[in-house]
Homo-oligomer: A and B are copies of this chain.
Amino acid sequence: MLSFESDYIEGAHEKILQRLIESNMEQVTGYGADPYCESAKAKIKEACGNPDAEVHFLVGGTQTNMIVIHTMLRPYEGVVAARTGHVSLHEAGAIEAHGHKVLPLPQHQGKLRADDLQEYLEGFWQDENHEHMVFPGMVYISHPTEYGTLYSKKELEELAALCREYKLPLYMDGARLGYALASNNTDVTLPVIADLCDVFYIGGTKVGALCGEAVVFTRHNTPRHFMTMVKQQGALLAKGRLLGIQFDTLFTDNLYYKISRHAIEMAELLKKGFRHKGCRFYLESPTNQQFLIIEDAEAERLKANVVLSFWERTDETHAVYRFATSWATKREDVEALLTIM
């Protein structure tokens, strides 16, 4: 069976496994106070072009979103997000379970638009009853979005300017950040992100690690006693080295970018092939996730040879399916898939 089900169907990049083995019997202190975490943090700060950034490692994406949002907001605040944002829809209510409303705004191919944000913020502050409402306390965006789309630098600048005006931190969910950075034609680099966002995370789980996300606070704005709150949320690994070693490896010799670039190349190959075959795209995605609208009978036929990842129905006889490439995707699998389609 071929599978383009997601970008987390394999284990970890081999260099990560190799470093785990090499370092295995070294005795290091727990809870993230080990030299691997230190080294990884230094490399990430350098990659961000921000020597003052503060880096923390967490285990997964929902965990990271819930902890960053919960520790940065006050009880009267919620987080603004596109209606399709991961925090809005697919985290099982993690944000609400920790006390905060997700304030949904319109989405445009998964993206939040500055004009929608501005209209909402102006409306909120003009509303005479706003003290009976949830205050906007943070703006959440994902990059790439849940639909694989990307913000341009200009779009990010507009959002960031609005956030500054309204004194709201801008938070970027970078679960698949590598695939954004390695995309063709993007003008959004890691230093750009570190400059425009108040906090963001660099996804590891979906970009070659076994698990792990690196949260970056860019304005000396790590919430006080962050580590204690991480512990309180059950998110502090005793063997913090597991995260340190992985990110240290990913940020050595540009590995994070290189393996992401491979995924993009495979995705571009897929796109080209799909287009050649006359497949119908749900939208234009410049990253590792491609979305096709497939007729039900055809989908059934494909399932004999391909693990299909259902996304959503479009009408009675068609549905959207996701095809994701990753650092681990093999060219021959791409070719095999294209042959079958």
Contacts and interface: CB of A to CB of B under 8 A. Distances in A.
A135 B225 CA distance: 9
A89 interface: yes
B74 A225 contact: yes
Interface in A108-155: 126-129, 131-135
B61 A229 contact: no
Contact of A205 (B65, B238, B310): B238
Given A59-B59, A96-B101, A234-B233, A10 B30 contact: no
B224 A74 contact: yes
Interface in A296-334: 307, 310, 312-313, 328
A11 B25 contact: yes
Contact of A94 (B11, B232, B238): B232
A193 interface: no
B29 A231 contact: no
Number of copies: 4
B328 A25 contact: yes
A89 B124 CA distance: 11
B97 A75 contact: yes
Contact of A93 (B8, B101, B236): B101
Nearest to A134: B93
Contacts of A129: 90
A64 interface: yes
A30 B17 contact: no
A238 B76 contact: no
Given A66-B233, A234-B235, 13 more contacts: A9-B28, A11-B25, A11-B26, A60-B235, A62-B231, A62-B234, A92-B228, A94-B233, A96-B96, A128-B310, A131-B227, A133-B228, A234-B234
